[in-house]
Structure 1
Amino acid sequence: MILSTAERSYLYDSLVQTPPIRPDSRSEHQFRPLEAKTSFLPSSNGSARIRLMDGSECIVSVKAKVVRASQETNLLECDVDVSGHRDDSNFVANLKFNLTNILSQNFPKEVLKLTSKYSFKLFLDCLVISHSSYPLSLLSLTSYLALKTTRLPLLVSDVDDAEVEEQPTFSDDWTNSRLMADLGETTFQPPIFITLGVVGNNLLFDPSTEEEQVLENGLILSWYDGKVISPASNINLASNSNNSNFKGMNAKLIVNSLALVKKYGGAIVHALDTLIEQDDDNDGRVF
């Protein structure tokens, strides 16, 4: 919904207060409530679906394919579709680039290795069914849940195939499969993006579509392995309206944003892990 001039002025004055008064009564560091379902696509190795309180919705499916490691330069491939946007649009291309970049640079490729010749290759198919605010965080959180619940079949053939042309064979019993997140030396926690809105001297986690229209700037920060990582970038989040408030940003706010994400990033990941633990019946219901 596009706000009128009077509505923008009222909302802006509310958000620059100390503490800010958000339309939905959230605190600065609070995300919008969401509903999630994991492992509901029977033909996928991993899957997740998230719906936010404003109706935004995203589905991510993870599929694994056996490939010759010598013929693949990248063992992780992402594809992003956004309802209402062309696949070749800059909007979709930027989302796909950011998601592919952060996952490729922070993924333990060793967990995909099968033998001296063969590896698994993962394909992430991401579909944003609907969105009102900038959907990168929504994509990222859904991808986190899908990757954390991805299962890979148990290899039963010889792992040393350097001298033979043996194709890998796997157990037919899916109960022998293992969670990909548990295959490495430590449990894999996929990286996530956290979106912050800048208004006055305040930083707002996960700004809504109404808040995006009065923000003075936007930040996208990345969290992985218990710390803030690169990339970190600023962005005009109000892509669907003319935001006349958009301006430069005080460098002090960048430092403050890093401190906030460092403070609350672990809690966000813990909340996602709790969602997975609570959704362990895998009965096929989406919500």
Structure 2
Amino acid sequence: MATTHTLLSPAELNYLHTSLSLRPPIRSDGRLPTQFRPLTAETGILQGTNGSACVTFSDGAEAIVGVKAEIEKTPDAQSGDGDEKKKARGDWVEISVEIPSQRDDDAATVFLGEMLREALLGDGEFAKKLWINRRFHWRLHIDILLLSPPLSYPLPLLSLTTHLALLATRLPKLKSEGDEDPMFDDDWESSVFVYPREGASEGTRPPITLLVVTVGDNVIFDPSKEELAVAETALAVSVAEVRRERPRGGMEVDSKGRELKLLSIRTIDPRRG
């Protein structure tokens, strides 16, 4: 898979496995079992895109994502009844992943892209955001680039960078009505976010795919490449935050916190390939 092999001796692997099997586990970098690696993030870094982001992990792994949108005519548009947005299609989203020293059509790279796509379309709501009218829709191109060599399994880094890029993605404000040819406001300041900002109405946020491993009886989040080498099970878990509209007059203290929706779980073997 898209990762570097960890060159550890059998004695080192045994020591690491024993340390991670303790209660609580002792991680080589001192993190708690559910603690993630420190990171730095920046959005709006690429001109000529509708949204972009860059994320760098503390181990030096870095990724950049650019999102571009174009108008596309919806084939076989029908005059159907009911909620037309329900006819939104997942193929309106195109995801490409590029990893240093790997071909774009490499099986591991394609698999990473499909896992990201599966999570993004998992709630059935994202494609509806691209619906313009019965005759037209937006097509999104999400280009994902791992800037550094794959120091560990890159899925969490690519997912988080995509998450931030989508939060920063904006589309021109629609001025036309009904099924007319789309006309948009030329003022970019009036553009609208694909995912409305804080204080907006209900809806889901972009998904995040995390790596979770088990060693002995312990569950460990965001494993390092050394921890992956001794993991007994590795899962890619995709979740998204769901926002509920607050009742009129409701107070912040009435909220029970964030509600997370499980979108998908996949068993992976990052040591293969």
The TM-score with structure 2 as length reference comes to 0.80
1:283 paired residue number: none
2:232 paired residue number: 216
- Conserved 8 A contact 1:196-1:204: yes
Code of the residue aligned with 1:102 in structure 2: it is A
Structure 1 position 26, deviation (Å): 0.3
CA separation in 2, counterparts of 1:200 and 1:237?
Answer: 18
Code of the residue aligned with 1:26 in structure 2: it is R
Which is worse superposed, 229-238 or 57-66?
A: 229-238
1:232 paired residue number: 265
- Conserved 8 A contact 2:120-2:126: no
Which is worse superposed, 100-109 or 120-129?
A: 100-109
**Identity rate, percent:** 38
2:131 paired residue number: 113
Structure 1 position 228, deviation (Å): 4.4
The answer on 1:13 being equivalent to 2:29 is no
1:148 paired residue number: 167
CA separation in 2, counterparts of 1:228 and 1:168?
Answer: 34
Matches within 5 A, 1:92-111: 92-106=109-123, 107-111=125-129
2:27 paired residue number: 22
The answer on 1:135 being equivalent to 2:168 is no
CA separation in 1, counterparts of 2:223 and 2:168?
Answer: 28
1:203 paired residue number: 219
- Conserved 8 A contact 1:198-1:216: yes
CA separation in 1, counterparts of 2:156 and 2:270?
Answer: 12
Match of 1:99, SS? helix
Q: Provide the aligned C-alpha RMSD in A.
A: 2.0
CA separation in 2, counterparts of 1:234 and 1:198?
Answer: 12
Structure 1 position 109, deviation (Å): 2.7
1:182 paired residue number: 196
2:74 paired residue number: 69
Please, which of 28, 36, 44 is the counterpart of residue 39 of structure 1? 44
Code of the residue aligned with 2:59 in structure 1: it is D
Matches within 5 A, 1:232-271: 232-239=265-272
Residues 217-257 of structure 1, C-alpha deviations (whole Å, 9 max, x = no match) = 211112123334242122223347xxxxxxxxxxxxxxxxx
- Conserved 8 A contact 2:239-2:264: no
CA separation in 1, counterparts of 2:167 and 2:263?
Answer: 21
What runs of 5+ residues in structure 1 fail to find an aligned partner? 241-287
What runs of 5+ residues in structure 2 fail to find an aligned partner? 1-5, 77-87, 243-258
CA separation in 1, counterparts of 2:209 and 2:37?
Answer: 15
More helix by share: 1
Structure 1 position 167, deviation (Å): 3.4
CA separation in 2, counterparts of 1:111 and 1:28?
Answer: 36
The TM-score with structure 1 as length reference comes to 0.76
CA separation in 1, counterparts of 2:30 and 2:201?
Answer: 42
1:125 paired residue number: 143
Equivalent residue pairs, number: 235
